[in-house]
């Protein structure tokens, strides 16, 4: 009996440790994203951020979302980012260049205000209903469950999402071809 | 539920959101603005998944997946615009792009 | 199928055609639009025939049905259903409207061929037929009013169909305004009826009308009469009809001869119970009809435009119908409506053939001697003319004489004055009708005819001649539906709905017939004497007739000029400084606001983002505080 409790608490401690590591990585890489002057490093920091987020998702029993996060987000999307950054070359942008200004103070003020407000609300609510998560079955967040939800309860959202992706793809193609034609015209003029 | 409460996850989410917002407000490189936007979206995603876990329903995860799809679309269009700007030899600085001034 | 189902088909078939033609646009050829419109009206006619045949199998007391599709309009305690009333009177009108209408739309295919906007024309025509059917089939007075307004609209659109002609636009406006006066009095009558009886259903309103005071009844009947007078171009709201001849000839035939202008007669027959309770107004209707028939006949004597002559003759013949229904001889009035629909549509369409052959010329002074060139047209025109003049055995004889007989039956000073006016009208009818026949078809051929008449063209295509032929047969035979002293097809059919309030005797019928035939022949003879024997080019000009009894001038002085003067004064004193000034002030203020807010638009995306974030932060505080 006591060994069971011990095992449970050992599992609990382990979860805490993992969470702490992932959360720390998350926060640190988030700060890194906005403070690197080279976009390339920022992008790399964002990949780290996304990966540590995936760990948090796993802790929240969202297995499928975690997998999608790593594969689609940290994989595909960020690779495209890196390609574009590499294509454009290193264009450094010092985050604090130009010294403090009214706009900067206001920006920091707004961001801090948002953070503080959320934290205050969380503090007020902590220990209440937020501490009593629902019981979940084993297949919560599994690919099978997500697939079932997508094709039954949330079919419309699924279809709309696919249309949004299609439109974005068309938009990307149009933007690309437009830019190419423009370049060709300029070349012809010269 | 083992480990920390949902509260803690929400705290991390709020921090990411605020950090991303700071990046959007401060940085002038459109690339980093886009990256910061991703950070904000992911903060929101984390909150969605945490609430999904809290209520034991799948809707939050579905929402998060939809947000990911929208983020991907946004990246495609955003990067397309940035590349088009670069090809027209425009300065990659959001403060210089002020043709929509009234 | 029951008569109810077929009635619904009859009503909505033309509406479907309107929608199809309107939505089809260029996808249809012009000819296809004409075929669709004709087919839809033909389907209406077929449905009306089936309804008629079904009703024939029923006992006379069981021929009235009200079918409600759904409650169409609710306001307080008032509920109006979208309903059709299927009874002998409405089926009678359905047959006339869809039958004559179908023939005229068919004729239009030939007449309008080559016009730039044939599709629009056929859509309007089908819309007119739908409106007219709604008018006669509507199951309550509000639907009747809806149809009433819609036929006014269709008429406006069709008179002004050739919108590049300023005269056509002016005529369309005139018709619309004149009709609007009638619509207004009609609507006021309905308001009064609602206020006093709380319903507009025919049966219920009529039974409750018995309890109303004489003043209220007279006001209601006057309002209804106002609508009828305007729509049917009777004195004093008649001036729009001659001008309406600016529209295409088939339009004149369908709307301004056969159907729409007879709506007033239908209205009086339909609301007969109210008019009977207000007998003063009913007599007024008869008197207006009698005066109109003489006056229009006099004006028709001196008109030189072939269509205007027929238009004044239409006014005159509707005067007979008003006289009939005003005296309470409803079946006689409706019977004349039927035969008139045939022979007047025939005359218009035959005139259309002449106009078509002469490249659009309408002046009878440039015509003459067309008999040799257009024998078929001459024959049918003659049938129409004989019918109009009331010469037996053509239909006008059978339908006009019962009305004249009714004036005798009425008796008294009023009745005899009406009698004299009515027989005076028959004389005038013979005179102006045969003036037209002799002037257009007999005598020497004008040089203009030789120059313009296209011998290859002949008398027009089959689609034009076929309807004219059918109408000629109808104009010849329709009269035999009811023969005085013989059988009473129309009277007994309409008996359950509009029972006559006076019965003429055979003696009266005989006197009326003999007098009117003699006078009609006398008129024709005088016309022959003037135009054939003496070869007079035109009758001596009578200023009163030429100026149409100065009605246009009177209205101009009474309404038009004071209105224009008032408008100018109001513009100078009120609208200019007050409305114009305030508009300018508002515009200036908006422009200043726009310039001011435009400055906020810096174009700096980060500033916008900051505004967003800041308002998010503020809103979060607000939400927290409110909770």
- pLDDT tens for A106-160 read 888 888 998 998 888 888 877 677 777 778 877 888 888 888 888 888 899 899 9
- pLDDT tens for B7-21 read 889 999 999 999 999
- pLDDT tens for C100-139 read 888 888 888 877 777 777 788 888 888 888 999 888 888 8
Length of chain C: 627
Contacts of C599 in chain B (CB under 8 A): 102
Per-residue pLDDT band at A97 (split at 50, 70, 90) = low
Tell me what pLDDT residue A189 has: 60
Lowest mean pLDDT among C68-72, C84-88, C211-215, C353-357: C68-72
The highest-confidence range among A107-111, B98-102, C167-171, C527-531, by mean pLDDT, is A107-111
Give percent of chain C with pLDDT exceeding 70: 94
What is the Cα–Cα distance from A132 to A124, expressed in whole angstroms?
15
Mean pLDDT of chain C: 81
Which residue did the predictor score with more confidence, A46 or C10?
A46
Count Cβ neighbours within 10 Å for each residue of C509-523 and write b for 16 or more, e otherwise: bebbbebbbebbbeb
Would you call A166 an interface residue with chain C, using a CB distance cutoff of 8 Å?
A: no
Chain position carrying tokens 């008129």: C523
| B102·C613 Cβ contact <8 A | no
| Same domain, yes or no: A83 and A161 | no
In a domain, A179, yes or no: yes
Tell me what pLDDT residue C205 has: 79
Those chains having 3 or more beta-carbon pairs within 8 angstroms of chain B are A, C
CA distance B2 to chain C (A): 31
- H helix intervals, A69-154: 78-88, 102-125, 143-151
Q: Is the pLDDT of residue B101 over 70?
A: no
Q: Is the pLDDT of residue C382 over 60?
A: yes
Residue after which a domain boundary falls, among A69, A92, A115: A92
Which residues neighbour A83 within 8 Å (Cβ) at sequence distance 6 or greater? none
What is the Cα–Cα distance from C207 to C193, expressed in whole angstroms?
12
**Torsion sign across C-alpha atoms C39, C43, C49, C50:** positive
In a domain, A82, yes or no: yes
In a domain, A54, yes or no: yes
Residue C22 has, within 13 A of its CA and on its CB side, a CA count of 11
Tokens read off for C120: 């629009």
Tell me what pLDDT residue C80 has: 79
Per the structure, the complete domain to which residue A184 belongs is given by 154-190
| C601·B98 Cβ contact <8 A | no
CA distance A113 to chain C (A): 6
| Same domain, yes or no: A77 and A162 | no
Those chains having 3 or more beta-carbon pairs within 8 angstroms of chain A are B, C
CA distances from C329 to A41, B22, C502, C508 (A): 102, 92, 6, 14
Q: Is the pLDDT of residue A24 over 90?
A: yes
Count Cβ neighbours within 10 Å for each residue of C153-167 and write b for 16 or more, e otherwise: ebbbbbbbbbeeeee
Tell me what pLDDT residue A4 has: 56
CA distance A43 to chain B (A): 7
Per-residue pLDDT band at C538 (split at 50, 70, 90) = low
The highest-confidence range among A155-164, C161-170, C200-209, C506-515, by mean pLDDT, is A155-164
What is the Cα–Cα distance from B12 to A27, expressed in whole angstroms?
7
For residue C367, give the 3-state DSSP assignment.
coil
Which residues neighbour C306 within 8 Å (Cβ) at sequence distance 6 or greater? C351, C354, C355, C362, C363, C364, C367, C436, C440
Domains of chain B: 6-87 (1.10.287.3510)
What is the Cα–Cα distance from A164 to B66, expressed in whole angstroms?
10
Say if pTM beats, i.e. exceeds, 0.80: no
| Same domain, yes or no: A164 and A86 | no
Contacts of A154 in chain B (CB under 8 A): 59, 62
In a domain, A135, yes or no: no
Per-residue pLDDT band at C357 (split at 50, 70, 90) = confident
In a domain, A114, yes or no: no
Per-residue pLDDT band at C211 (split at 50, 70, 90) = confident
In a domain, A126, yes or no: no
Which residues neighbour A67 within 8 Å (Cβ) at sequence distance 6 or greater? A54, A143
Q: Is the pLDDT of residue C456 over 70?
A: no
Q: State the ipTM, two decimals.
A: 0.89
Would you call C622 an interface residue with chain A, using a CB distance cutoff of 8 Å?
A: no
Would you call A110 an interface residue with chain C, using a CB distance cutoff of 8 Å?
A: yes
Tell me what pLDDT residue B19 has: 92
Lowest mean pLDDT among A32-46, A78-92, C449-463: C449-463
Lowest mean pLDDT among A8-22, A77-91, C444-458: C444-458
Locate the DSSP E strands across C185-302: none
For residue A142, give the 3-state DSSP assignment.
coil
Cα dihedral C152→C155→C160→C166 (10° resolution) = -60
Tell me what pLDDT residue B43 has: 93
Residue after which a domain boundary falls, among A77, A92, A107: A92
Contacts of C606 in chain A (CB under 8 A): 103, 107
The highest-confidence range among B64-68, C347-351, C490-494, C609-613, by mean pLDDT, is B64-68
Lowest mean pLDDT among A58-62, C30-34, C545-549: C545-549
| A110·C610 Cβ contact <8 A | yes
In a domain, A20, yes or no: yes
| Same domain, yes or no: A1 and A87 | yes
- pLDDT tens for C243-301 read 888 778 888 888 777 788 888 888 888 888 888 888 888 888 888 888 888 888 888 88
Tell me what pLDDT residue A29 has: 92
Helix pair angle (B59-87, B30-55), 10° resolution: 180
**Do residues C375 and C441 make contact, with C-beta atoms less than 8 angstroms apart?**
no
CA distance C612 to chain B (A): 10
Would you call A113 an interface residue with chain C, using a CB distance cutoff of 8 Å?
A: yes
Tell me what pLDDT residue A98 has: 54
Tell me what pLDDT residue C356 has: 78
Per-residue pLDDT band at A48 (split at 50, 70, 90) = very high
| C613·A121 Cβ contact <8 A | no
Q: Is the pLDDT of residue C532 over 80?
A: no
Residue A83 sits in a domain of what CATH number? 1.20.120.1200
Chain A residue whose CA is closest to B87: A179
In a domain, A88, yes or no: yes
Mean pLDDT of chain B: 86
Would you call B12 an interface residue with chain C, using a CB distance cutoff of 8 Å?
A: no
Q: How many domains does chain A have?
A: 2
């Amino acid at each position: 009996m006591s060994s069971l409790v011990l095992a449970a608490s050992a599992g609990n401690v382990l979860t805490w440790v993992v969470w702490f590591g992932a959360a720390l990585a998350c926060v640190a890489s988030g700060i890194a994203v906005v403070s690197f002057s080279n976009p390339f490093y920022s992008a790399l920091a964002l990949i780290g951020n996304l990966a540590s987020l995936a760990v948090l998702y796993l802790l929240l029993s969202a297995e499928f979302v975690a997998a999608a996060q790593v594969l689609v987000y940290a994989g595909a999307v960020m690779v495209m980012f890196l390609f574009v950054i590499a294509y454009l070359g290193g264009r450094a942008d010092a985050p604090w260049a130009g010294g403090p200004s009214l706009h900067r103070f206001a920006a920091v003020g707004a961001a801090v205000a948002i953070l503080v407000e959320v934290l205050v609300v969380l503090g007020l609510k902590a220990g209440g209903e937020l501490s009593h998560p629902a019981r979940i079955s084993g297949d919560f967040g599994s690919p099978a469950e997500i697939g079932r939800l997508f094709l039954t309860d949330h079919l419309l959202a699924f279809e709309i999402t696919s249309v949004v992706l299609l439109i974005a793809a068309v938009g990307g193609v149009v933007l690309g071809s437009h830019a190419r034609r423009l370049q060709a015209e300029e070349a012809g003029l010269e | 539920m083992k480990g920390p409460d949902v509260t803690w996850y929400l705290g991390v989410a709020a921090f990411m959101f605020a950090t991303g917002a700071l990046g959007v407000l401060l940085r002038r490189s459109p690339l980093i603005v886009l990256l910061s936007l991703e950070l904000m979206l992911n903060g929101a995603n984390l909150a969605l998944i945490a609430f999904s876990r809290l209520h034991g329903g799948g809707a939050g995860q579905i929402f998060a997946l939809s947000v990911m799809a929208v983020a991907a679309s946004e990246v495609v269009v955003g990067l397309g615009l940035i590349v088009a700007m670069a090809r027209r030899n425009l300065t990659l600085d959001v403060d210089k792009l002020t043709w929509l001034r009234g | 199928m029951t008569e109810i189902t077929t009635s619904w088909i009859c009503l909505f078939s033309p509406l479907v055609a309107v929608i199809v033609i309107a939505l089809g646009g260029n996808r249809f050829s012009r000819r296809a639009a004409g075929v669709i419109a004709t087919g839809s009206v033909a389907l209406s006619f077929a449905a009306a025939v089936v309804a008629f045949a079904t009703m024939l199998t029923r006992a006379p007391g069981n021929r009235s049905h009200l079918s409600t599709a759904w409650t169409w309009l609710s306001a307080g305690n008032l509920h109006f259903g979208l309903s059709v009333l299927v009874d002998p009177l409405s089926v009678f009108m359905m047959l006339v409207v869809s039958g004559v209408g179908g023939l005229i739309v068919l004729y239009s295919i030939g007449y309008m061929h080559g016009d730039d906007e044939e599709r629009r024309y056929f859509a309007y025509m089908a819309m007119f037929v739908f409106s007219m059917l709604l008018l006669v089939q509507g199951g309550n007075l509000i639907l009747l009013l809806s149809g009433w307004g819609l036929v006014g609209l269709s008429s406006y659109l069709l008179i002004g169909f050739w919108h590049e002609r300023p005269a056509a636009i002016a005529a369309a406006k005139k018709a619309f305004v004149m009709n609007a006066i009638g619509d207004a009095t009609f609507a006021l009558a309905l308001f009064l009826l609602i206020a006093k009886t709380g319903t507009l259903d025919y049966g219920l309103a009529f039974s409750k009308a018995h309890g109303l005071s004489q003043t209220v009844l007279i006001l209601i009947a006057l309002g209804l009469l106002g609508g009828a007078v305007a729509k049917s171009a009777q004195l004093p709201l008649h001036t729009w009809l001659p001008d309406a001849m600016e529209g295409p000839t088939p339009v004149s035939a369908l709307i301004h001869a056969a159907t729409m202008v007879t709506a007033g007669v239908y209205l009086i027959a339909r609301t007969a119970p109210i008019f009977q309770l207000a007998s003063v107004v009913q007599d007024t209707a008869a008197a207006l009809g009698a005066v109109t028939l003489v006056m229009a006949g006099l004006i028709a004597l001196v008109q030189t435009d072939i269509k205007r002559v027929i238009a004044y003759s239409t006014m005159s013949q509707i005067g007979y119908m008003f006289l009939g229904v005003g005296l309470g001889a409803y079946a006689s009035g409706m019977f004349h409506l039927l035969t008139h629909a045939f022979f007047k549509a025939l005359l218009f369409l035959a005139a259309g053939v002449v106009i078509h052959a002469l490249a659009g010329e309408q002046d009878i002074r440039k015509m003459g001697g067309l008999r040799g060139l257009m024998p078929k047209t001459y024959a049918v025109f003659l049938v129409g003319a004989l019918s109009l003049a009331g010469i037996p055995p053509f239909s006008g004889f059978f339908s006009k004489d019962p009305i004249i007989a009714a004036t005798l039956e009425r008796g008294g000073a009023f009745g005899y004055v009406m009698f004299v006016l009515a027989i005076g009208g028959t004389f005038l009818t013979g005179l102006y009708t045969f003036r037209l026949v002799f002037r257009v078809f007999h005598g020497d051929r004008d040089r203009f005819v030789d120059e313009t008449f296209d011998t290859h063209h002949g008398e027009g295509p089959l689609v034009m001649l076929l309807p004219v032929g059918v109408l000629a047969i109808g104009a010849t035979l329709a009269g035999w539906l009811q023969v005085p002293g013989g059988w009473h097809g129309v009277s007994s059919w309409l008996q359950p709905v509009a029972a006559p309030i006076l019965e003429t005797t055979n003696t009266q019928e005989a006197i009326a017939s003999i007098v009117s035939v003699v006078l009609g022949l006398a008129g024709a003879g005088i016309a022959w004497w003037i135009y054939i024997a003496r070869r007079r080019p035109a009758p001596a000009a009578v200023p009163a007739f030429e100026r149409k009894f100065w009605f246009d001038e009177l209205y101009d002085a009474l309404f038009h000029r004071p209105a224009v003067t008032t408008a100018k004064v109001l513009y100078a004193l009120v609208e200019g400084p007050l409305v114009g000034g305030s508009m300018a002030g508002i515009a200036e203020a908006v422009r200043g606001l726009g310039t001011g807010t435009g400055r906020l638009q810096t174009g700096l995306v980060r500033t916008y983002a900051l505004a967003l974030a800041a308002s998010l932060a503020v809103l979060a505080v607000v939400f927290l505080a409110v909770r």
